[in-house]
Amino acid sequence: MVDDFQFRVHFGDRGNVRWKRHHLVRARSDNLSTHWPHEWHSYVGLVRNWLCHHWLLIGETGSGKTFLSQLIHEVSPRRNDPFLPVACGALPAELIESELFGHVKGAFTSAHADKEGKFIAAGRGTILLDEIDVLGLEQQVKLLRVIETGEFEPVGSNQTLKSEARLVVASNLDLQPLVENNKFRPDLYYRLNMLKFEIPPLRERKPDIPVLVTRFVKQLAEKHNVQIDRIDDELLMALYNYPWPGNVRELENVIQRAVIYCREGVLTVDHLPPHIVMGEAGPTNDPSVTLNSSPMTVDNKPNSQMAMTEREIIEQSLYKNNHSRTKTAKDLGISRVTLYNKMKKYGMTK
């Protein structure tokens, strides 16, 4: 039996679903307009019909779940209320309930004051629960109650509160096998599965790549104060042929590297990492040269060639920002602690 409502969107297959131009709605956020190709916006008319419902987004890491959840929020009547993302996988299991429902003073050792949870802080806005699959069964029961009644109690309190927030729940895993293995509650799964949106990986929507590249180049060239006059066709072909295991996030990181390296006004394959040009995925989940994770080889030792690339990116950004670590960290999109640790690793703190 099929779900009440379930669909899969193939952004590269325009014959799959067609919408007339009057259905298109432009997202209010400039950030969304920059990041999302035209094909994504062509489904906003569909999104608007279910704006008040909870959503389940399934897609690989980096495929655009956060962007889509922002788009759902931005085209809805809730757009003037907060959009609050919660990375469940980044929180210790014992703190997830406190983050979502809040707690009262003395609820646990470090609870020195009352704390408002996301379900109250969001008002009538949108909460993105990413990596929903990490929630324990007891936490899933409480989440199901909020979805069905809006009611919950802060940790350590007997007072019942009510939330008017809308949930967008995301995972990079298919939840059905988790249900079959008793790791995810079937009642919660079927409740969420009423409105399921599967985001295809970038390798299945190759026509989006040139659009994304053009927009990323424009955005990142402005951010890094680099003039880009032209994008070489050979570079576009290399990007088109690469399998993109890290999806849109990996593509953005690769373009950022290329923009930072470009000094002649033309982006070419010389500005790409070797594994991209060869069309082979690197050894990590997101094999692009990024500043958020250290490139590693299969024997778990730093790859000197790729590490040197990262060092050069840091050096160029430091030079551009007059060696201000605060400005450099902000420019590269990392924390000052991360920047310091990377500078220390490359012997740049002496």
DSSP letter string, 120-150: HHTTTSEEEEESGGGS-HHHHHHHHHHHHH-
Q: In this structure, are strands 83-87 and 196-198 parallel, antiparallel, or unpaired?
A: unpaired
Pairing of strands 83-87, 6-8: unpaired
Q: CB atoms < 10 A from the CB of 15, how many?
A: 6
Query: Which residues are within 8 A (CB) of 182 and not within 5 positions of it... i.e. 6 or more apart?
Result: none
Q: Reduced to 3 states, what is the DSSP secondary structure of residue 103?
A: strand
Strand-pairing partners, residue 267, are 231
Domain 6-200: CATH class, spelled out: alpha beta
pLDDT of residue 46: 55
| Residue recorded with tokens 């985001």 | 199
The residue length of the chain stands at: 350
Output the pLDDT for position 265.
Answer: 92
Stretch(es) of the chain classified as CATH 3.40.50.300: 6-200
- The helix or strand, by DSSP H or E, that contains position 318, with its residue range, turns out to be helix 304-320
Give the separation between CA 31 and CA 107, rounded to whole angstroms. Answer: 39
Strands (E), the chain: 6-8, 55-58, 83-87, 102-103, 115-116, 126-130, 151-152, 161-162, 166-171, 196-198, 230-231, 266-267
pLDDT in tens, the chain (350 residues): 333 333 343 333 333 333 222 222 333 333 443 344 444 554 555 555 555 578 899 999 888 898 888 888 888 888 899 999 999 988 888 889 999 999 999 888 888 899 999 999 999 999 999 999 999 999 999 999 999 999 999 999 999 999 999 999 999 999 999 999 999 999 999 999 888 888 899 999 898 899 999 999 999 999 999 999 999 999 999 999 999 998 998 999 999 999 988 988 999 999 998 888 887 665 443 433 444 433 333 333 344 434 446 777 787 777 777 778 888 888 787 888 888 888 888 777 75
Q: Cβ(98)–Cβ(85) under 8 Å?
A: no
Which residues does residue 155 pair with via DSSP β-bridges, in sequence order? 103
Q: Which fold has domain 205-345?
A: Helicase, Ruva Protein; domain 3 (1.10.8)
pLDDT of 177 reads 95
Strand duo 166-171 + 126-130: pairing: parallel
